[in-house]
Structure 1
């Protein structure tokens, strides 16, 4: 059964340096997305690499029929609002409210993170909205970095996005469901708008982007390299030797994919204080 909302996997040793928040993608789950051979790696492995981080996972209804539709309750916007609200509730003490945040998103989960940060920065830039939403605005203020794993960023090219949408549907086992493919294709304007909004704030964060090095049999690469990268000066890009579904699942510390992603998380935590101080002084 899918788990919704935030779940703390590891509280972190004192002093806690950051919150690391994992967000799954389309058709995913807050636990299963990050599990291989019964090993939930953010809980079982990562705490050894970053012992002073609180590690959380966040779940939501990732029904592929509704994910990118502009109408209805289950939209990328509502998911992003839910992420902000839940993170605000998880950061109650004065120390927690100002603690750096690192977001890790797989596939379309990266889009939810992008939308949440756009909303948070909008709250920060509007005096009236900040007055009523200052706690959620702090999520944006405290975000030091984002790690995108197989996230399809570009929706402006409808033809290219249609291909990606079809592959995403097939990758989660819904190739025969025309409603799912149609829903994803209809999300192109949503992605285009999000791409434009995020462009205004993306320079504030330390960004790591991971691309899928392998294709799925009969499908190929779900997200092509040029769609999965932002091409930013503050973006570090790497490849994970796995396909779109497996690129976020690890069961051993020796796996190259785990070593790459955990190293990115560790680096972002180490740089978080400097990133936030530089932003505050600019």
Structure 2
């Protein structure tokens, strides 16, 4: 059990990571013990083994059941603010983030997100802006049955965390609504799991209904485990680990890799209004060389529309900043998911087109930070980048 605030890097190369994954324990939990299985293996490092580009951290905080400790504990709002400050002091928020939370840790993560979004501190704001994925493992979004049982059977065990878990104060309901709204507005993917076995054969700590965070597209997933065992997969073949890995991999695919904007061919310059020096062929020449000359009329029309709007914006205003962000995202996703693995590998046109649709158009249209973005707008940006010599459609 943790008795002090802790934040620790566990595995993964911090210098080359594209996604930071923070594991947050629950009531009476421990930053390492909670995530250590029966084989005495700290299993989150399996993720770093299987996914290149992730960095694993654990967060720890006092979370005792016992009355002598509860008098010293912060409430959940205070603890969230304390942990956010501790995390930004360790560099969290400078790149995309995912939270993996057990039980009470999920409520703490939701309060941390709310504190980060509402803060005046830009470093705190960054955590809210960079959070891409939250995974809840048996988190009581609507209160927990066991908390009520503990309060009834052991009234002197008056931890503030038990009061919070019970849902009697209305705090959990308020946090439920707050997280749901922020997640939807910010485009945060939310995954939830719940236990199927009773803890100590007494009760389900978190019911399927309570495990539901109320987010659009989130369907809670049952796990063959009790409340303590749900966060301790025995092997990489365990269904809950396979599922976690799938969702973390999808989040990682949306993250720009470190060094992507450093010197190199086709990488993002500061000003997209200027043509790159690396490949000065025209849009038509590039499409002809790629065997796509039949697409030129449409491509030229699309890029012209984008160019007229883009150049009217001038050099310094909010609209141009948003357009630059879109151009950067289109370029990065094209180079990462289409140019390297498809075009340079000699993939057929149908496969290249499918990759553009899935990894560039569909992926960016689903991202909330660009607002309501149409597939046509993404294609306009894509062909504008081609005309400006920042991307190409044929092998070097």
Matched, 1:154 2:142: yes
Aligned equivalent of 1:118: 114
Q: 1:181: how far off?
A: 6.0
Quick one: which of 125, 147, 150 aligns to 1:165? Answer: 147
Output aligned runs, 1:193-272, within 5 Å.
193-203=174-184, 204=186, 205-272=188-255
Q: Deviations over 1:119-146 (max 9, x none)?
A: 11112xxxxx2xxx11111110110110
Aligned equivalent of 1:35: 36
**CA 1:242/1:33 → structure 2, altered by over 3 Å: closer, same or farther?**
same
Q: 1:177: how far off?
A: 3.1
In structure 2, distance between residues paired with 1:251 and 1:275: 36
Deviates most, 106-115 or 208-217: 208-217
Matched, 1:140 2:128: yes
The answer on whether the counterparts of 1:14 and 1:52 sit within 8 Å (CA) in structure 2 is: no
Matched, 1:186 2:163: yes
Q: 1:250: how far off?
A: 2.3
SS at 1:247's partner residue? Answer: helix
Q: Deviations over 1:27-77 (max 9, x none)?
A: 00000000012101012x2212222101101000011357xx8x9652111
User: Comparing both chains, which one has the higher relative contact order based on Cα–Cα distances under 8 Å and sequence gaps of 6 or more?
Assistant: 1
Aligned equivalent of 1:101: 97
Output aligned runs, 1:31-70, within 5 Å.
31-36=32-37, 37-43=39-45, 45-65=46-66
In structure 2, distance between residues paired with 1:262 and 1:89: 28
**CA 1:111/1:263 → structure 2, altered by over 3 Å: closer, same or farther?**
same
**CA 1:4/1:147 → structure 2, altered by over 3 Å: closer, same or farther?**
same
SS at 2:215's partner residue? Answer: coil
In structure 2, distance between residues paired with 1:103 and 1:214: 24
How many pairs were matched up?
255
The answer on whether the counterparts of 2:12 and 2:48 sit within 8 Å (CA) in structure 1 is: no
Q: 1:195: how far off?
A: 1.9
The answer on whether the counterparts of 1:146 and 1:208 sit within 8 Å (CA) in structure 2 is: yes
SS at 2:156's partner residue? Answer: helix
In structure 2, distance between residues paired with 1:9 and 1:232: 30
Matched, 1:177 2:154: yes
Q: Deviations over 1:94-131 (max 9, x none)?
A: xx6431000010001000000000111112xxxxx2xx
In structure 2, distance between residues paired with 1:281 and 1:98: 20
Aligned equivalent of 1:278: 367
In structure 1, distance between residues paired with 2:204 and 2:58: 26
What TM-score do the two structures reach when normalised by structure 1?
0.80
The answer on whether the counterparts of 2:65 and 2:159 sit within 8 Å (CA) in structure 1 is: no
Q: 1:225: how far off?
A: 0.2
Q: Which has the higher strand share?
A: 1
**CA 1:224/1:19 → structure 2, altered by over 3 Å: closer, same or farther?**
same
**CA 1:230/1:135 → structure 2, altered by over 3 Å: closer, same or farther?**
same
Which 5+ residue runs of structure 2 have no aligned equivalent? 257-362, 372-396
**CA 1:195/1:275 → structure 2, altered by over 3 Å: closer, same or farther?**
farther
Q: 1:85: how far off?
A: 0.9
